[in-house]
Amino acid sequence: MAEQALLMLDDGTCFEGEACGAAGETLGETVFVTGMAGYQESITDPSYYGQIMVFTAAHLGNYGASPLDDEAPKPLAAGVVFHDLFRQGGRGVFPHWRAVESLDAMLRRNGVTGITNVDTRSLALHLRDHGSRNGIISALDRDRASLLRKARQWPSMQGRDLAREAGAGPVRDYTPTEDGLPVPDLHTVLIDYGAKRSIAVRLARQGMKVTVMPATARADEVLALGPDGVLLSNGPGDPEPCSYAVECIRGLLGRLPVFGICLGHQLLGLALGGRTYKLPFGHHGVNHPVLDRGSGRVEITSQNHGFCVDPDSLPPEAEATHVNLNDGTLEGLRLRDKPVFSVQFHPEATPGTHDAGGLFARFRAMILEHREALRHAQAQ
């Protein structure tokens, strides 16, 4: 018989279910994720560090799990919540040729605690109406008063610097494993605030050598490597406490082409003197419509963030380039006087659609234009 578990939110709302994944108890900010597929890429996205992920898709785990689909060496999500989790099967059982284990086995192996057989539709509606809330999943403690006390004592996501922890790796060159990649003719530094593997893959496909630097890298350390451009990665937590990152970005603006994604976009906004604020329940999923104001094209995008840049706080040289069609929030910006742009969504799209994948080619083109402008200036 399956072990029973509880999910308790800090407002006293409680959901019953069955334990899955790693045995134990876990706390985090509870957010709902609307993607219908790509569960493994989502769970291994470092942007979910410190969060309990509620999957709104009714059935998860049906095509198993494979290390080839991981976006990070291990999941950093605090926990997972499912309506129905497929737990049986082994190699060759799943309708996906790369699967080597069940999703449940992958969660257990990586120490991710979960709960299944939960009314996730009701839970998602509650979070939509009342905002993301701290929660606790436990199969160890079924005393509701005790669980509520723990959930209320857990720190808010607002004010937490998680990028320093998620992007704490050493300086290293990314080594592509794909065949047929172009020979690199450009060098890009990827500042890791909790970067997804697919961002480095997309840069390599654009003919770039990629050097990954930690979230705490200084501008002089980045410039010392002599890169052609810098990509500010995605990542978890509140951007405002990341003063070290804001200072670094300010030291890079005007010196190198800069491209920001997700948290990198928010940090760029702060570096420009703007403000950020917390969204009620964030944007988490692969079906968010965004208007590209330049082309007039609507793109369906992959998103995972709980904070947003206030467009009214940005300086005149910053132009809003993308707008979320669900709630009107800022989804992208560029500088009119420097080779700098950023987007709130995930153009690498793992999981998700590839509508915005052309932004990596745009980044390459911007680097080449900047290089040519420097050559022309030196020739004068």
251-294 confidence digits (pLDDT tens): 999 999 999 999 999 999 999 999 999 999 999 999 999 999 99
Query: Is residue 231 within a helix (H) or strand (E), and if so which, with residue range?
Result: strand 229-232
Lowest mean pLDDT among 189-193, 220-224, 305-309, 353-357: 353-357
Q: Are residues 337 and 256 in the same domain?
A: yes
Q: Which sign does the torsion angle of CA 312, 196, 246, 185 carry?
A: negative
Q: Are residues 108 and 248 in the same domain?
A: no
Q: Are residues 123 and 229 in the same domain?
A: no
In a domain, 325, yes or no: yes
Set 262, 284, 299, 322: catalytic member: 262
Name, in order, each residue with C-beta under 8 angstroms of 14's C-beta and a sequence gap of 6 or more. Answer: 6, 7, 8, 144, 147
Interatomic CA distance for residues 239 and 193, integer angstroms: 10
CA-wise closest residue to 80 among 19, 132, 140, 37: 19
CA 73 to chain centre: 15
pLDDT digits (tens, 9 = 90+) for 301-333: 999 999 999 999 999 999 999 999 999 999 999
pTM: 0.96
Q: Are residues 284 and 143 in the same domain?
A: no
In a domain, 217, yes or no: yes
Mean pLDDT of 13-31: 97
Set 18, 41, 240, 348: catalytic member: 348
Domain end, chosen from 134, 153, 172, is at 153
Tokens standing for 56?
């709104």
Mean pLDDT of 101-129: 97
130 in catalytic set: no
Q: Are residues 285 and 219 in the same domain?
A: yes
> In the structure, what pLDDT confidence band is assigned to residue 34 with cuts at 50, 70 and 90?
very high
- State how far the alpha carbon of 235 is from the alpha carbons of 29, 166, 306, in Å: 15, 7, 11
Is the pLDDT at 120 greater than 90? The verdict is yes
Q: Is 360 left (phi over 0), alpha (psi -120 to 50) or beta?
A: alpha
Q: Are residues 95 and 228 in the same domain?
A: no
Q: Are residues 208 and 316 in the same domain?
A: yes
Interatomic CA distance for residues 313 and 140, integer angstroms: 46
Pairing of strands 133-138, 113-116: unpaired
In a domain, 78, yes or no: yes
Q: Are residues 82 and 207 in the same domain?
A: no
What pLDDT is attached to residue 93? Answer: 66
Show the CA angle centred on residue 330, arms to residues 329 and 333, nearest 5°. Answer: 175
User: Which CATH number does the domain housing residue 137 bear?
Assistant: 3.50.30.20
CA-wise closest residue to 332 among 272, 380, 284, 291: 291
Across the chain, what does the average pLDDT equal? 95
Q: Are residues 114 and 172 in the same domain?
A: no
Domain end, chosen from 153, 176, 191, is at 153
Domain end, chosen from 135, 153, 171, is at 153
> Is 299 in contact with 328 (CB distance < 8 Å)?
no
In a domain, 200, yes or no: yes
Q: Are residues 136 and 215 in the same domain?
A: no
Tokens standing for 83?
């309506």
Q: Name the DSSP letter for residue 327.
A: T
Q: Name the DSSP letter for residue 69.
A: G
Beta strands in 34-85, from DSSP E residues, in sequence order: 51-55, 59-60, 79-81, 84-85
Mean pLDDT of 92-109: 85
Helices 359-379, 197-205: axis angle to 10 degrees equals 60
* Number of structural domains found in the chain: 2
Name, in order, each residue with C-beta under 8 angstroms of 154's C-beta and a sequence gap of 6 or more. Answer: 10, 27, 28, 134, 136
What pLDDT is attached to residue 89? Answer: 56
In a domain, 250, yes or no: yes
3 in catalytic set: no
Is the pLDDT at 122 greater than 90? The verdict is yes
Q: Are residues 59 and 38 in the same domain?
A: yes
Which residues pair with residue 53 across a beta bridge? 31, 80
In a domain, 205, yes or no: yes
What pLDDT is attached to residue 353? Answer: 86
In a domain, 158, yes or no: no
What pLDDT is attached to residue 274? Answer: 98
> Is 109 in contact with 84 (CB distance < 8 Å)?
no
262 in catalytic set: yes
In a domain, 295, yes or no: yes
User: Which CATH number does the domain housing residue 168 bear?
Assistant: 3.40.50.880
Interatomic CA distance for residues 262 and 273, integer angstroms: 17
What domain range is 250 assigned to? Answer: 163-379
pLDDT digits (tens, 9 = 90+) for 75-94: 999 999 999 999 765 555 66
Q: Are residues 371 and 352 in the same domain?
A: yes
pLDDT digits (tens, 9 = 90+) for 151-208: 999 999 999 999 999 999 999 999 988 889 999 999 999 999 999 999 999 999 999 9
